[in-house]
Amino acid sequence: MHSFRIVNVFAREGRLTGNPLCVFEDGTGLDDAVMQALARQFNLSETTFILPSTKATARVRIFTPAYEMPFAGHPTLGTAHVVRALRRAGSLAPPNGDTGDKVTLEMKAGVIPVAAAGDRWTLSANPAKTRAPDVTRADIAAALSLEEADLASDPVWVSTGTEQLMVPVRSPAAVERARPDSTRFLGLGSVEPVKAYVFHDEGDASRRVKARFFFPTATGVSEDPATGSACANLGGWFAATRPGADVEREVSQGEAVQRPSTLLLTVRGGSIRVGGSVIELGRGTIDL
């Protein structure tokens, strides 16, 4: 029997908000094919598996229904929430007897520090890497069913662990109008599956961002309700476009898929932090 928990990450108000995640409490003994099959079985945007680590509180593997990811934000926060609960219950041995609110998670992208204040978790992202797209602004706009004039500035690829195309637009209405054209969208990149974050920044006065995130699936292009890795990459975008500036933003995402979500972004001294609330919704077991 393999125990799992369902949590909602970046929840706003109410238990059925945010981005759902399945976390397997102990992935020991499960091979890659079984992990991938379980992720496909649950068919959530990601499913994670907790494993022993020699360099962090726990090692974590992250699977979408189609492939494994080196890093993702909402799986990081949701898995940290479960790791803390397992440590407090004594089923996951804490280092030095510590069962507190700080954990480190070993992922393929590196060791990610995560800390909590109650049930609000915050991760510290890796430094961002950026590169220019190989396609034109017009190509990117067309792939999202937008006009080139809707773009507020040049899109850029950003990675703090997983690479995504950051697409700043001029208005909340442009965010709402975005509709990926599958063929054009999937042709925007060649290195790995194309993922795009369309956002409007209201500026320092309101400190609010409206965003949507699109990613490929087996049947086309889908939309994610809350994307922590993209929020971290948004921090990388701010660091690249406003070097040295401290930035705080509250990111609204998920309304278009009826899963309203709130993500909190801080860029300070070059460090990028992403936070949000985590709610445990239920538990169960799988018999393989």
Residues 1-41: tens digit of each pLDDT: 999 999 999 999 889 999 999 999 999 999 999 999 999 99
Model pLDDT, residue 50 = 98
Q: Is the pLDDT of residue 176 over 90?
A: yes
- Confidence (pLDDT) at 100: 78
Contact (CB, 8 A) for 278 and 13: no
Residue range of the domain that includes 83: 2-123+276-286
Same domain for 113 and 143?
Answer: no
Whether 163 and 241 map to the same domain: the answer is: yes
Q: What value, to the nearest 5°, has the Cα angle with vertex 71 and ends 68 and 77?
A: 115
**Whole-number pLDDT of residue 193:** 78
Residues 146 and 58 in one domain: no
Could you tell me the end-to-end alpha-carbon distance of the chain, in angstroms, rounded to an integer? 7
Task: Find the CATH number of the domain harbouring 94.
Answer: 3.10.310.10
Rounded to the nearest 5°, which phi and psi values hold at 256?
-70, -20
Go through the chain and tell me how many residues it has: 288
For residues 244 and 157, state if they share a domain.
Answer: yes
Q: Same structural domain for residues 139 and 264?
A: yes
Q: Are residues 88 and 110 in the same domain?
A: yes
pLDDT digits (tens, 9 = 90+) for 247-269: 999 999 999 999 999 999 999 99
**Predicted pLDDT of residue 218:** 73
Helices then strands, counting H and E runs in the chain, come out as 6, 17
* Calpha distance 155→145 (Å, rounded): 15
Which of the four pLDDT bands, split at 50, 70 and 90, describes residue 96?
low
0.75 surpassed by pTM: yes
Domain shared by 118 and 149, yes or no? no
Please, are residues 253 and 265 in contact by the beta-carbon 8 Å criterion? Answer: no
On whether both 251 and 217 belong to a single domain, the answer is yes
Mean pLDDT, to the nearest integer, of 134-163? 96
* pLDDT, the chain, mean: 94
CB 132 within 8 A of CB 117: no
> Cα separation of 98 and 81, whole Å?
15
pLDDT number for residue 99: 61
- Return the axis-axis angle of helices 228-241 and 73-89, rounded to nearest 10°: 120
Q: State which H helix or E strand residue 262 sits in.
A: strand 261-268
Contact 116, 80 (CB under 8 A): yes
Catalytic residues: 46
Distance CA 69, CA 255 (A): 25
Pair 135, 223 in one domain: yes
Question: Concatenated DSSP letters for 122-179?
Answer: EEEPPPPEEE--SS-HHHHHHHTT--GGGBSS--EEEESSSEEEEEEBS-HHHHHH--
Tens digit of each residue's pLDDT (9 = 90 or more) over 104-135: 999 999 999 999 999 999 999 999 999 999 99
pLDDT of residue 94: 63
Residues 112 and 190 in one domain: no
Domain count, the chain: 2
pLDDT at 227: 96
Shared domain check, 140 and 81 = no
Give yes or no for a contact between 210 and 194, defined as CB atoms under 8 angstroms apart. no
pLDDT band at 163 (very low <50, low <70, confident <90, very high): very high
Q: Are residues 133 and 261 in the same domain?
A: yes
